[in-house]
């Protein structure tokens, strides 16, 4: 058997204060001459406008499109703009949703994707996966890996802290997703990549160790988080799937997206899910919970703005939304009673 394992990684990653100012040079270095900037209404003021100016100063002929929804219609519209405008790249300047639209639009229009996140809310900033409404499934689809990531810590430090705390929740949850993946390997014969698994786990440990730097809004804390989010994206690219970064805790979060849409942020839900799934795995769930507390991320149903019954429903349903993904939930098969017990033991409800 000659199975080829293909890995696409970002070619350039810049993390630090003011790195957005290098956008023009980076495009030139990559041989890109006609980018399309995709930005949100708010993020246009924060960074989109600046990106336009930087590209103009570099003598690049860029176009800009403002997006508001992360749905299939928006993706179709942006992809069409990319094709008719004959652009060679799509630059996503914004939060998680804007980045996802830009990523899928680049994939659909067969152009390069550059990621310029304005928040650190989840690990999609450097991954090849994106989620969008209207695809008929609550989890992510495969698109292009960004060719470059410019994560400007100054811009991210100015975004609402809640997004940063959510990004931490997403990274911390890899303690569980890697365990789920290893279990699937041992018990279900699934491929497991030691390197990708270690990278995701290391990212989680880094956030646990440096939680106080993030809570204190220190530059070093933002850098650690951004590098951890980029590492998670790289781990998924190496694995060729979301496996190292998305296990039972993500199934819980995706289920909440279906039954309680827009109640909380992705990473916030993953963090709370990770507390309970860690308990099911026999991991140190107390450490995960304490870290989330230090970071000021939600640790209870109430803090996720959902009621106890919704949380229990999500726990019971989580195993059904993606049956092919073998996790601890495939094994324990939670009932309403056992789901309630686990949530109560972890004091999530
Ligand atoms: Zn995630």
Counted residue by residue, the chain has a size of: 349
CA of 267 to the centre of ligand 1 (A): 6
Buried b (16+ CB within 10 A) or exposed e, 158-183: ebeebbbbbbbbbbbbbbbbbbbbbb
Calpha distance 247→280 (Å, rounded): 13
Calpha distance 203→216 (Å, rounded): 19
CA of 199 to the centre of ligand 1 (A): 15
**Structure tokens belonging to residue 133:** 């409404």
Calpha distance 320→324 (Å, rounded): 9
Mean pLDDT by runs of 10 across the 349 residues of the chain is: 80 97 98 97 95 97 92 94 97 95 96 98 94 73 93 97 98 98 97 97 98 97 97 95 97 96 96 98 98 98 98 97 95 96 98
CA of 62 to the centre of ligand 1 (A): 31
CA of 246 to the centre of ligand 1 (A): 6
Cross-strand partners of 114: 91, 148
CA of 208 to the centre of ligand 1 (A): 16
Predicted pLDDT at 138: 67
CA of 79 to the centre of ligand 1 (A): 25
Predicted pLDDT at 2: 55
Predicted pLDDT at 131: 83
Predicted pLDDT at 133: 75
Q: What is the pTM of this model?
A: 0.95
Residues whose beta carbons lie less than 5 angstroms from ion ligand 1: 170
Cross-strand partners of 65: 38
Q: How far is CA 99 from CA 40, 175, 249, 304, in A?
A: 10, 25, 23, 24
Calpha distance 225→281 (Å, rounded): 25
Predicted pLDDT at 1: 44
């Amino acid at each position: 058997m000659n199975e080829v394992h293909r890995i696409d990684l970002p070619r350039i990653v810049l993390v630090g204060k003011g790195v957005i100012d290098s956008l023009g040079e980076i495009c030139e270095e990559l041989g890109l001459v006609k980018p399309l900037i995709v930005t949100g209404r708010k993020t246009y003021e924060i960074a989109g406008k600046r990106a336009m100016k930087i590209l103009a100063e570099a003598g690049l002929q860029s176009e800009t499109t403002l997006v508001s929804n992360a749905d299939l219609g928006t993706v179709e519209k942006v992809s069409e703009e990319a094709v008719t405008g004959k652009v060679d790249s799509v630059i996503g300047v914004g939060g998680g949703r804007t980045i996802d639209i830009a990523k899928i639009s680049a994939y659909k229009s067969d152009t390069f994707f550059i990621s310029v996140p304005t928040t650190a809310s989840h690990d999609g900033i450097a991954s090849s996966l994106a989620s969008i409404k209207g695809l008929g499934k609550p989890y992510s689809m495969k698109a292009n890996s960004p060719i470059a990531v410019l994560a400007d810590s100054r811009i991210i430090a100015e975004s609402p802290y809640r997004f940063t705390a959510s990004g931490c929740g997403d990274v911390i949850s890899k303690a569980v997703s890697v365990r789920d993946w290893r279990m699937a390997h041992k018990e279900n014969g699934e491929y497991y990549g030691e390197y990708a698994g270690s990278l995701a786990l290391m990212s989680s440990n880094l956030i646990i160790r440096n939680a106080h730097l993030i809570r204190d809004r220190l530059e070093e804390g933002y850098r650690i988080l951004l590098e951890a989010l980029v590492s998670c994206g790289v781990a998924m690219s190496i694995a060729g799937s979301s496996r190292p970064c998305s296990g039972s805790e993500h199934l819980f979060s995706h289920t909440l997206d279906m039954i309680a849409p827009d109640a909380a942020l992705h990473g916030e839900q993953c963090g709370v899910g990770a507390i309970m799934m860690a308990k099911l795995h026999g991991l140190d769930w107390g450490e995960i919970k304490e870290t989330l507390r230090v970071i000021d991320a939600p640790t209870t149903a109430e803090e996720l703005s959902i009621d106890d019954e919704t949380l229990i429903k999500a726990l019971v349903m989580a195993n059904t939304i993606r049956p092919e993904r073998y996790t601890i939930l495939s094994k324990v098969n939670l009932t309403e009673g056992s789901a309630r017990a686990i949530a109560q033991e972890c004091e999530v409800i």
